[in-house]
Structure 1
């Protein structure tokens, strides 16, 4: 995998929850792939968690895709949660104040525990 690649995998969880694991670069060339996948999932799932633990690079296009997905989740009456943001993403979220806008969990396990299947979390 080169720095210009983004690998995405989707895992269905109980209770309509779904996890999209992203690894590689979230940038001008790859952000559209994440956006398209997550947007489709928001239509049929009450919770979409994006596991960012594998992200090595994120530019403004990747950041914008995350913001747009948050807005789409609100429109779809779904939840859009970020998990395991590496320092490269965490700094971007903190510098822009978006860490106060997104629901961000330190780990994927913490994100799923905050939203148990069939629970109100």
Structure 2
């Protein structure tokens, strides 16, 4: 993102996922996702991550606190974003997954693969 505090929002997908992109204080891009991360919306997240990398972002943080549901397509999208970051020498961080998504990460072993951070509530 070229301008400080610049924010872009995608229209909701068929499943109702909304992704907002803004500057992250770390110098990368913060993607805030709200809705369902599923078969209908997973490619939208991957595309948003790729747009940020194509624009030169050194890293992307995906804040998933607003994700109420994820299926296997959503998990695959997070893995694709992670691999894209690794292949480009960049970083991809998942921030604030809710309790259910954190449990899925633990059950699938993704908590050992993805860079996951939890921020305390404001």
TM-score, length basis structure 2: 0.82
Q: Deviations over 1:45-84 (max 9, x none)?
A: 1110000000000000000000011000001110000000
CA distance in 2, matches of 1:82, 1:21: 10
Distance 1:11 1:93, change over 3 A: same
**Shift of residue 14, structure 1, vs aligned partner:** 4.5
CA distance in 2, matches of 1:23, 1:32: 15
CA distance in 2, matches of 1:93, 1:69: 15
Which among 89, 96, 109 is matched to residue 77 of structure 1? 89
Whose helix fraction is larger, Structure 1's or Structure 2's? Answer: 1
CA distance in 2, matches of 1:72, 1:107: 24
**Contact kept? 1:48, 1:79, Cα under 8 Å:** yes
Q: Give 5+ residue unaligned stretches, structure 1.
A: 110-121
**Contact kept? 1:51, 1:108, Cα under 8 Å:** no
Which among 63, 66, 77 is matched to residue 54 of structure 1? 66
Farther-moved stretch of structure 1 (92-101 vs 40-49): 40-49
Q: CA RMSD in A?
A: 2.1
Structure 2 matches for 1:27-42, cutoff 5 A?
27-42=38-53
